[in-house]
Amino acid sequence: MKFGRARAALTLAATLLLSLIFVSAFGQPSSGGQVALSGQFTSVVVCTFGQGASEEIADYLMAESGKRYRIHLPPGMQKPTTGDEVRVSGRVQGNDLYVRTLTNMGNDGPGNPSTGEQRWIVLLCNFQDNTTENVSVSQVYSTFFDPNDSSDVWWRQASFNKMWITGEVHGWYTLPVNVGCDPWTWHDLAIQAADPDVDFSQFDRLYILVPDGGGCGWGGLGTLGKFTTNTDDGPFYHSSSWGRSEYYNSLTLAIQLTTHEGGHNHGLLHAHSVAFPGEPIGPFNTNGAGASVTEYGDAFSSMGAWNWGSYSPPQKIALNWFNTNNVKTVTTSGVYVVDGYLTNSFVPKVLKVFRGHAASTNQDEWLYFHQRLPQGYDANLNYYGGYNFGAALCHYEWRQNNITGSNLVDFTYADGDVRNGALRPGEVWTDPYTELSIKPLYTIGDDLYILVSFGPLVSVTADPTVVTGGTRIQGTVQLNRPAGKDGELVSVSSSDPSSASVPATVLVPEGEMSAPFWIYTANVVNVTEVTITVELDSIEDSVEITIIPLAVTGVTVDPGTVTGGRTATGRVTLNGPAAFGGSSVSLSSQKPWRAQVPPSVTVNEGETSATFTITTTPTQATESVKIFATFNGVLKFATLYVATPVVEGIKLNPSKVQGGSPSTAIVILSGPAPAGGTVVTMSSSNTSVASVPMSVTVQPGDQQIVVPITTYTVTATRLVSIRASRFITRSAPLTVTP
């Protein structure tokens, strides 16, 4: 500080001099002129708390001539950083410069460090038509630098002692202008007014306080970084903020406003909140399409509107304030722990969770989770009785180039109040677009344990998914990570236990990722859909199974035609494996006196068919008989033909005789003779050598008959065919010798 503090009111000569400078620097040029200019680029954030839904950033060029222009860059042009030397060409209209080309020459300044000592000079200024002095120098000094409760203490806490402020407060200075919203004029005149008292080379942050905002409607302004202003002490490389002096009668407002505008000076944008229609986070890979952004919506960061909160995780990362290991990048499933946000330690305080790579924008999307505790100035964030303390707050970033801004997520979006928007222990959020799920589990001391799952934490499959009732299906529980110590107990449920029953739980053994279980289905009358659901740590997955009524699909008989009195084999076939304990199929015969079947046949468990015996009785004429099988109300039948006996064979004994000696023929039927007997026609191919009766009758129940053969004397050996006929003719050769 210089010796000999100058009077706050300027002398008339100084006033005239400054007025000439003002006219020279800010006089209106001719409109519409094309210019090529060089100078220093500066961006200023306008803070009108609680108003608007977009961030107002005004860009300026301090030309080498001393004139300052409000510049407008064309869409897509890369914006320089505050303090960069640039060359531009474009069109001037009043104090506005519409840029056509821009060349960035870089910045030779010492940079804009966000750590270490920050040296502040605070100037209290009023106007020649409003000389109000509504706060004292000592009061303002206390709000900035008091060792117990001030902006300095706030920044030390928030930065883990990586940044602190020192400085001086001077004023009041009456600027030689009337009230009117012209912050850059105030900036230049305030420096000139204070130059006799202040060695500006000893400072790198400037804060100008004026009563009632000097006629402006904002709460404060802040440059995004540092720039150079020439002073009597040489170049003054600094950031600049403007604020309302009346706010500094309140320590609360003073700290909140100072840390807000000071955040802009370090390059931070506003802390927003974000909302999507009907969900906390919108579709993936759309660059935030559909998002409704509230400009000052983050109620947990002083870069939002009027609150005590420490800067959000993305902004602290940008400021390089975190200690080693304070930010944990999460790309794999697991349980992670975060410490208190203001606890000065070397354990994670932020989980930077990968949502995915958005192919359409070629950008990564991230979610930042942390917890607030009633620590330091964060203790004032006790909304709803501390609802958010010990819970997971989330910030969503979908633009890689917007890290200096941040977007608070509201998980209780339905009530429109972000102040209760954290995920509390036991609650779970699952991203419907990426299957990422987040579940705060519990707290131990200051540590919050959070389960992060990429893809479903637990899933379930069934094989097959379409079955006949009464069968069992193998289900499988699948985890997306190995089960922990003592295994993972997964809950299982059925939407219709009477149709498909499951165990209440399935244990996935320690170190394993899956475990099987049985789903037992019951016989159903109609096609039935059942949902099998598994749940672990409030994460659910389900599989649909379809149960088809078990039914008989067909009956067959083998052979299809059988001689009465003989047996046939029937077979019933089901549309699926038989149920546990087997499935009993009812049987019946259209003509049980002709073809008899058992009352039922059992298809063994797991089999799809079973056989049964059909017993027939002899008949004089072939008859058709339907064999019926019934199961679960479904009836099927097959037709069996029961035939009358036919001659199946004939044997001669002996088959060679001397003429005049007898022989016999044994006639064999295909089945027992029916009631009344069966008449068989007999014949000989040469009755002069061997003769038989014209017919014989096989007695009921018998299947053969012995027929006498009479032979006659021959002079030479003769061969005779003995024939027996009933629908079918069979023959046997008889040799007659001399």
The residues facing 613 across adjacent strands are 569
Residue pair 581/663 in contact by the 8 Å Cβ criterion: no
Backbone angles phi, psi at 570, to 5 degrees: -100, 155
- Tell me the C-alpha distance between 212 and 217, whole Å: 9
Give the end of a domain, one of 496, 525, 547: 547
Is 278 in the same domain as 340?
yes
Is 131 in the same domain as 95?
no
| pLDDT score for 158 | 97
- Amino acid making up residue 441: L
Q: What value does the mean pLDDT take over residues 90-102?
A: 93
* pLDDT over 90 at 405, yes or no: no
* pLDDT over 90 at 10, yes or no: no
- Tell me the C-alpha distance between 555 and 175, whole Å: 109
| pLDDT score for 17 | 27
Higher pLDDT, 49 or 635: 635
- Tell me the C-alpha distance between 221 and 240, whole Å: 8
Would residue 6 count as lying in a domain?
A: no
| pLDDT score for 509 | 94
Those residues whose C-beta lies under 8 Å from the C-beta of residue 565, and which sit 6 or more positions away, are 616, 617, 618, 645, 671, 672, 703
Is 639 in the same domain as 652?
no
Would residue 222 count as lying in a domain?
A: yes
Is 462 in the same domain as 439?
no
Please write the tens of the pLDDT for every residue from 411-466. Answer: 999 999 999 999 999 999 989 888 899 999 999 999 999 999 887 778 899 999 99
Is 144 in the same domain as 196?
yes
Q: Is 136 left (phi over 0), alpha (psi -120 to 50) or beta?
A: beta
Please write the tens of the pLDDT for every residue from 572-623. Answer: 999 888 877 888 999 999 999 999 999 999 999 889 999 999 999 999 999 9
Whether omega for the bond prior to residue 559 falls within 30 degrees of 0, making it cis, is yes
Is 298 in the same domain as 441?
yes
- Poorest-confidence range of 402-416, 613-627, 711-725? 402-416
Domain that holds residue 689: 647-737
Q: Specify the pTM.
A: 0.65
Q: What value does the mean pLDDT take over residues 100-117?
A: 90
Please write the tens of the pLDDT for every residue from 629-688. Answer: 999 888 999 999 999 999 999 999 999 999 999 999 999 999 999 999 999 999 999 999
| pLDDT score for 7 | 27
Q: CA end-to-end span of the chain, whole Å?
A: 163
Strands (E) located in 245-341: 271-275, 292-294, 327-330, 334-338
Is 305 in the same domain as 339?
yes
- Tell me the C-alpha distance between 309 and 378, whole Å: 5
Q: Give how far Cα 616 sits from Cα of 162, 541, 556, 701, Å.
A: 103, 58, 16, 13
Is 605 in the same domain as 519?
no
Would residue 13 count as lying in a domain?
A: no
Give the end of a domain, one of 246, 265, 284: 265
User: How many folded domains does the chain comprise?
Assistant: 6
Helices marked H in 625-701 — which ranges?
A: none
Would residue 18 count as lying in a domain?
A: no
Is 438 in the same domain as 475?
no
